[in-house]
Amino acid sequence: MGRHQAAPTPHRLPLARWARASLRPVAGGVALGAAVMAFAQIDPDTSSPAFGVSSTEAADLVGPTTVSAPAEATWTSTDADTTWLTDAIAAEAAERARVAAEAEDARLAAEAEAARLAQVEAEHAAARRAARSMTRGTSAPVASVPVGEVKQYAAGLVGADQWGCLDALWQRESGWDPSATNRSSGAFGIPQSLPGAKMASAGADWRTNPLTQVRWGVSYIEGRYGSPCAAWQHSQSTGWY
């Protein structure tokens, strides 16, 4: 009779090698040892494993159930604190909005100033045209009143303490000439009214009567500056009154 051959011992080495080869480090340092043991169908409550390996032997073969990550590993977390980034973005947006608002304010201010200057120029041009149209073609002669009498009349209106300032002011403006006309602005008469028609409030003969012009001029100075000396001081600093 042939020899009785014992049943072959289960081949365990491949399982051990497979289990060890299946271990890979994952994020957080958790090993796949538990998954390997489950796949190998090891019954932790008995000493009869499905592949002929006891629980103890399987644990020895598999090794530790946790594996540490390499020291140079880089970790990324979706829960990282990004408050600083949000604040930085908000600050940059606020700064850009501030700069844009300042630029817009400057643009609007420049447009407003340009419009104001254009309006002033238009008013001056209209005044010059009005003055030219009023004096053009006027044949009425200027009243023959000596300059000395005109000055004496003016001095009586302002008083001795203000007379010197008024004399200097109108000497500079018109030389006390009742027909003086500024070709650039259209100002007219002894006080250089702009336009000359303003002097009509002192008399209809404002074009020809120097005394009418003086009355209007003194009234204008007192209403605008308070006194001839104040008007003269302004003219000294600006070149006009």
**DSSP at 7:** P
One-letter identity of residue 137: G
Q: Which of 19, 50, 43 is nearest to 33 (CA)?
A: 19
Query: Can you give the pTM of this predicted structure?
Result: 0.44
Q: Could you give the CA distance from residue 83 to residue 62 in angstroms, rounded to a whole number?
A: 44
Q: Could you give the CA distance from residue 21 to residue 199 in angstroms, rounded to a whole number?
A: 113
b/e map of 101-125 (b: 16 or more CB within 10 Å)? Answer: eeeeeeeeeeeeeeeeeeeeeeeee
pLDDT for position 56: 58
pLDDT for position 22: 47
The separation between the first and the last C-alpha atoms of the chain, rounded to the nearest angstrom, is 148
pLDDT tens sequence for the chain (241 residues): 445 455 555 544 454 454 454 444 444 444 445 444 444 444 444 444 444 555 555 555 555 555 555 566 555 555 556 777 888 888 899 999 999 999 999 999 999 999 888 887 777 666 666 555 544 444 445 657 889 999 999 999 998 999 999 999 999 999 999 999 998 889 999 999 999 999 999 999 999 999 999 999 999 999 999 999 999 999 999 988 9
Q: Which of 9, 10, 19 is nearest to 41 (CA)?
A: 19
